Each structure stands twice: as structure tokens, then as C-alpha cells.
């Protein structure tokens, strides 16, 4: 039996206070004027606090409203409720638009309750006019959604297409959703923030105004003596003959290390994001290369390739990793940089990235990029040649003798190398037209796309890309597309969407809420949108776009936390976004950057955090005979012991509470989100 609960109006700011306490840098909600709620630059958004970032009590809808809305404000302006969740950026005019009303049954908020009133309204905040009235419709006849521990209702306002600022109002309860927009361009400034995170992740680059917002200015990092420009082999640290200039690239995540396998894939994902929707990418993201006539995403891709080129040896092999020192801010790190040896997996992933880069950069009509692309093509073929001759060279960083070199483990097994080889062959065929690569692809194409899920999405995209090439083997290309279409009709794909198996409209299945679940959410949206991007016949474009948008809406606030899972987005008017996350720069306890409303600035905007992770636990030290004092009496709950979608805490506490399992950013999450988001930017 469910424990009886008290009906109450539960403000979002109150929820974030509860979620932010844990072991983070600050337990309070954002101040009424978050110190860091500024845009990265005037070309992105004005540096001002939007009214919807203020506490609900400071955000009246209007002093007077039309008579049809009078009942909704009779007892005062409706407060913003955590029980009415929406995409806090907004909705495209032609999109499906559904506010989710939630009543917690299990999890950290189970003692709270919300039953929708009889009348829901969509209120235009610009005109104070009620533009739609109706009832919230129960999801699955009052069933509890296990993954969230919530009962749910839907209020569908898809019929409203007029641009403007809106809120969903529960008339009887006198509460409302956060404000949001309906507009064709709502996601463009979000995309700019998300892409600019790579600028802030640049290693060895001086981040100064006007390109860096004043709050996040920093000098070039890791270019001192013994650092990236003079990196040495980790196993021969005292030998100056091993020194290499490996400066540049991006910090990988909340740690500063640079992992070749992952870095090369980020380039592949960004290249696909550009190629799948090339007209949406501007030259005005306020990075140092802006205004040069080249889309800024391409400039950022070139920055990434400049580092990957340095990692390639003369024989075509590619070094596996560069381990960096850590400090806050990054320029304060003084420790040496060490690299790991070449590996087959790093070389194959790089071969694919070099090849796809050469194919796409050569199409831009820029003489310098055409020359650059030709060099990438040569590098791709050299990497392939080395990897074919050296198919099993493995290097596992941060284990045994390499302990401390990096943090995450990027090495793969035999099956993983085979996958990387197939993918590299696809991109090499695209770049060269050589039958050598096509033959390898065709020989391994059996059942290539017969299983569609998030864990295989990068390879699935590569196969669909192959099927789109004019010189691909015709019957294999046809089979790839038909298999993909068939696989989407099975299991947890279209059936889950069409049966509305997730009231939050972002079904991935409870078991898929793992470390980095927000990447999983993003990739799931991509599996649907691939039907459009790769011209698979019989596709209902509107249905596909609405399915993919459900996953984007989830990241933007349609979730049990009623939170935008991007850092510090208050400058764009959201009510609740990530206030702190695990990152070596925005470190726990930092007086400047730890937490919005507590630190002077909080973290930089636009970083996607890992998201709910029900496997979270504190460090094993905390259950030892001599636990660290930072452990506290128990593992923070939440995130521990929660339904999958509630296994989240807005905190930034490193060892021994290990917040990185929940809130660390990762470029892998970022590229998946950016690629999905870009589908909905005009």
C-alpha cells in the first residue's frame, strides 16, 4: 500500500533545494539573481537574467487577465510547480506539445502528492489570454510508471502554433508550469551554448574575452615545461628522446585527459551532425574563428583534427592517450603530461575519422580546407595500412604499469576492433572510392542493421551512411535500409513510442538507465531520426520528428526532476537547470565556479551531464573499516536507492561520494545531444 500523502503545492525551487543538498558544494537553490546566469557572448544571448529564472513567487503571470482566466489567478498568481513539467526552452510550432503532470508514488518525493484539477489552460504570457482549455488525461488509466515511480497525466496543446511565451496552468490548484516559448527558432541559442562547450574544453588555448565570458576566462593550459608540448612516453619518463608536441585537442570530460579512441569518435559524430543538416550551422558562435566564412562547427572540428594529427606516428599508427595534470582553473595545472603507445583500436578509430573528415571538408569549397582534406585522406589510408599489419596491438591505460595514465578505460576487445575496422572501411570507401574498402564492408554486412538500439547507434549510423553513398553495392545498401526499418518496428522502438510506454515520451527501458543515461536518451532519439536523415522509404516524417523530439524534451525538463540537464542555462530563461556538475575546473568547493547561486559564477553554460544512474553508489572506502570523513553516515539518497529516472542529485562532490557517476559531463554525451538538437534548428 502506498503511504498516505499530503497534497501540497511544491515549487521547483524547493525541489532543487532538496536535490542539491546531498554532498554538493551548496545545498540551496539558485539565488533570485544567479550570479552566473549570463550568456557566453552578446552574439549568443543577452547577458541578463530572464524573469523565469527567478523564484516562482517573484514571477507573477500578470496583475490582471482575461475573464476566461480569472479563476486561475483569483487567489493570486499561480506558483510554478514541479508537478507540471515542460520543455523549458519551448516547442516548435508544428511539433507535438505535451505537458506532463506527475504524482510521485515512489522515490525521494513519494511523501508528496499532486492530483490535477479539472481544468487546464494554456496561457499566453505576452497577452494574458487563455488560448486553450481542457482536461489533463490520465496516462495508462492511473498506472504507475515504474522507471520514474510516478503516476502521470498529459495536457496536449499541440493545436497551438502561434509564436509566443506560454505557461500551462492548473486552474483549481492555482499552479503552473515554468514559462516556455513556441517559436521556430527556440533551439538555435541552445545549440550555440552546447557547441561552445567545446571551446571551453580546448586544451592549450587562451580563453579570453570577448570569446570567453568574463566569468570563465582562463589562460592556455598544459603548455608549461614537461607538459603537452614536451610530452613523454609514460613508460620512459626520463628519456627526452621520447618528447612529442601533443598540445591542443579537447579535455575529454570532467577530467582533462585526451583519449584517442573517444576523441576521434567525437569528430565523427560532429561531422555527421554537420553533414546531416549543413544549413543550420552558423559562423557566429563567438569563438575566435567566427566570421571567417566557415561554419563554426567545422572550425571546431579542425581544432580537434589538429590534435589527432599530432598523435599519428610516421608509420601511420596513432598514439592511444595523453594523460594531463588537473587543477582549477585548468591553466593552474603544472604537472607533466605523458602519452601511451599506439594501439590498433586508436589507429582504426582515427582512420575512420580522418577519412570522413577528408570526405566532408573537401565539399566546402574552401581551398585551405581542400588541401587539409587531402592530408587527412593520406593519413586515413596510412592508419588503415598499419592497423591491417598490426591487428592486435592493445594498450589498456590506467591499469597495472599504466595506473594513473588517464581515468576512463578506452580500450576494446576483439569484437570492438572488428567493429572499428568495419566502420573505418565505410568512411575510407566514402573518401577514396576504392573497392578494397568496399569489399571489406560488403563482406561484413550480413545482419548489419538487424538490431537497432542505443548501444549500437554509432555503427548503425555508419552503415546507413554507407547505404547512402552512390557507389555502395546496390543490393547491400537496400538490405541495410530495409533491415533498419524492420528492426525499428520491433522490441522497444516504435512499439514503445506508439503505445506511449513512457509518460515522459522518452522510452529507453529501465535497464538502459546507466552511467551516461542522457547520452542514451540522445542516441535513442537519433535512432528514429536516422529514418529521415538517410532517406528510408515509407517514413512518416511528422511521426519520426515527434518521436525524436520526445527525447529532446526530456533533456530540456520533461523529466521527474523538472530540470534542464544542461548546466547554468538561466540566461535563456529556464526555471531550473543543472547548478553544479563534476568537472576539474568547476571543482567542488570552488568559491568562483562550484555552484550557481552559491559560488560567484557557477559553472559555464551548455554542458550536458550524465544524468540519472540507478547503479550509483558511494566509494567502497565508505564501507571499509576506516571510512573517509567525507563519506558521511550514508550514501546520498537520492541518487542511491531511487527509481531509475529519479536516481539523480544536483551535486559536485568528488571522492569518496563520486558524483561523477551522475553529474560529470563527457564529450561523448555532448556530441550525441548536439547531433540530436541540430535536427530541430532551422
pLDDT at 179: 98
Q: Which of 374, 252, 367, 372 is nearest to 320 (CA)?
A: 252
Low-confidence ranges of the chain (pLDDT < 70): 1-75
Residue carrying the nine cell digits 552512390: 470
Residues 669 and 565 sit within 8 Å (Cβ to Cβ): no
pLDDT at 578: 98
Q: Give the residues across from 168 on adjacent strands.
A: 122
pLDDT at 41: 33
Distance CA 639, CA 658 (A): 11
pLDDT at 490: 86
Distance CA 639, CA 651 (A): 10
Distance CA 564, CA 560 (A): 11
Distance CA 380, CA 382 (A): 5
Residue carrying the nine cell digits 542529485: 649
The count of other CB atoms within 10 Å of the CB of residue 134 is 14
Beta strands in 33-106 (DSSP E): 79-80, 84-85, 90-91, 98-104
Distance CA 218, CA 112 (A): 44
> Looking at residue 124, what DSSP letter applies?
E
Q: What is the pTM of this model?
A: 0.91
Which strand (E) or helix (H) includes residue 113? strand 112-113
pLDDT at 138: 98
DSSP per-residue codes, 192-213: HHHHHHHHHTBTT--B-TTTS-
The answer for residues whose C-beta is within 8 angstroms of residue 413's C-beta and 6 or more apart is none
pLDDT at 76: 80
Distance CA 476, CA 484 (A): 12
Amino acid at each position: 500500500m502506498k503511504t498516505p500523502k499530503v497534497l501540497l503545492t511544491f515549487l521547483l525551487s524547493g525541489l532543487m533545494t532538496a536535490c542539491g543538498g546531498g554532498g554538493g558544494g551548496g545545498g540551496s537553490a539558485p539565488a533570485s539573481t544567479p550570479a552566473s546566469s549570463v550568456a557566453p557572448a552578446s552574439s549568443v544571448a543577452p547577458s541578463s537574467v530572464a524573469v523565469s529564472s527567478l523564484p516562482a513567487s517573484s514571477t507573477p503571470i500578470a496583475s490582471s487577465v482575461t475573464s476566461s482566466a480569472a479563476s486561475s489567478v483569483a487567489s493570486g498568481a499561480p506558483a510554478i510547480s514541479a508537478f507540471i513539467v515542460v520543455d523549458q526552452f519551448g516547442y516548435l510550432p508544428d511539433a507535438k506539445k505535451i505537458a506532463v503532470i506527475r504524482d510521485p508514488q515512489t522515490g525521494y518525493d513519494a511523501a508528496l502528492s499532486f492530483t490535477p484539477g479539472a481544468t487546464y489552460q494554456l496561457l499566453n504570457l505576452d497577452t494574458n489570454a487563455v488560448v486553450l482549455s481542457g482536461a489533463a488525461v490520465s496516462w495508462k488509466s492511473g498506472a504507475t510508471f515504474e522507471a520514474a515511480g510516478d503516476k502521470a497525466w498529459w495536457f496536449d496543446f499541440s493545436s497551438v502554433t502561434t509564436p509566443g511565451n506560454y505557461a500551462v496552468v492548473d486552474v483549481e490548484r492555482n499552479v503552473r508550469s515554468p514559462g516556455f516559448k513556441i517559436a521556430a527558432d527556440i533551439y538555435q541559442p541552445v545549440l550555440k551554448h552546447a557547441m561552445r562547450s567545446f571551446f571551453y574544453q580546448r586544451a592549450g588555448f587562451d580563453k579570453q574575452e570577448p570569446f570567453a565570458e568574463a566569468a570563465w576566462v582562463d589562460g592556455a593550459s598544459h603548455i608549461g615545461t614537461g607538459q603537452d608540448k614536451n610530452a613523454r612516453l609514460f613508460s620512459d619518463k626520463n628519456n627526452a628522446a621520447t618528447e612529442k608536441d601533443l598540445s591542443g585537442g579537447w579535455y575529454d570530460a570532467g577530467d582533462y585527459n585526451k583519449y584517442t579512441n573517444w576523441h576521434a569518435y567525437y569528430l565523427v559524430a560532429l561531422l555527421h551532425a554537420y553533414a546531416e543538416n549543413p544549413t543550420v550551422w552558423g559562423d557566429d558562435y563567438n569563438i575566435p574563428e567566427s566570421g571567417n566564412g566557415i561554419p563554426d562547427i567545422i572550425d571546431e572540428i579542425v581544432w580537434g583534427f589538429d590534435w589527432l594529427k599530432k598523435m599519428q606516428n610516421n608509420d601511420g599508427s596513432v598514439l592511444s592517450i595523453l594523460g594531463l595534470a588537473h587543477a582549477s582553473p585548468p591553466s593552474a595545472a603544472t604537472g607533466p603530461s605523458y602519452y601511451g603507445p599506439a594501439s590498433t583500436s586508436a589507429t582504426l578509430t582515427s582512420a575512420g575519422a580522418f577519412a570522413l573528415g577528408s570526405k566532408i571538408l573537401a565539399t566546402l569549397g574552401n581551398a585551405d580546407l581542400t588541401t587539409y582534406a587531402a592530408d587527412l585522406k593520406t593519413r586515413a589510408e596510412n592508419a588503415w595500412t598499419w592497423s591491417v599489419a598490426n591487428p592486435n596491438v592493445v594498450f589498456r591505460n590506467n591499469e597495472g604499469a599504466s595506473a594513473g595514465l588517464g581515468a576512463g578505460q578506452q580500450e576494446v576487445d576483439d569484437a570492438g576492433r572488428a567493429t572499428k575496422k568495419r566502420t573505418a572501411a565505410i568512411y575510407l570507401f566514402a573518401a577514396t572510392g576504392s573497392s578494397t574498402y568496399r569489399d571489406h564492408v560488403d563482406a561484413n554486412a550480413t545482419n548489419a542493421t538487424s538490431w537497432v538500439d542505443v548501444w549500437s547507434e554509432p555503427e548503425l549510423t555508419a552503415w546507413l551512411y554507407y547505404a547512402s553513398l552512390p557507389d555502395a553495392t546496390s543490393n547491400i545498401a537496400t538490405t541495410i535500409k530495409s533491415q533498419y526499418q524492420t528492426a525499428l518496428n520491433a522490441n522497444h522502438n516504435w512499439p514503445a513510442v506508439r503505445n506511449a510506454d513512457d509518460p515522459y515520451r522518452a522510452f529507453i527501458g529501465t535497464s538502459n538507465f546507466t552511467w551516461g543515461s542522457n547520452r542514451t536518451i540522445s542516441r535513442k532519439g537519433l535512432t528514429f531520426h536516422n529514418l529521415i536523415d538517410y532517406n528510408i522509404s515509407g517514413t512518416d516524417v511528422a511521426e519520426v520528428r515527434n518521436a525524436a523530439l520526445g527525447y529532446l524534451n526530456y533533456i530540456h525538463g520533461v523529466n521527474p526532476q523538472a530540470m534542464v540537464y544542461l548546466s547554468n542555462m538561466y540566461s535563456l530563461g529556464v526555471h531550473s537547470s543543472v547548478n553544479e556538475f563534476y568537472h576539474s575546473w568547476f571543482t567542488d568547493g570552488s568559491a568562483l565556479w562550484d555552484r550557481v547561486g552559491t559560488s560567484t559564477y557557477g559553472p559555464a553554460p551548455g554542458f550536458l551531464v550524465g544524468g540519472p544512474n540507478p547503479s550509483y553508489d558511494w566509494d567502497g572506502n565508505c564501507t571499509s573499516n576506516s571510512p573517509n570523513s567525507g563519506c558521511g553516515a550514508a550514501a546520498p539518497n537520492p541518487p542511491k536507492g531511487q527509481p531509475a529516472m529519479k536516481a539523480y542529485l544536483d551535486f559536485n562532490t568528488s571522492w569518496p561520494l563520486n558524483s561523477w557517476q551522475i553529474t560529470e559531463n563527457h564529450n561523448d554525451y555532448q556530441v550525441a545531444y548536439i547531433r540530436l538538437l541540430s535536427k530541430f534548428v532551422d
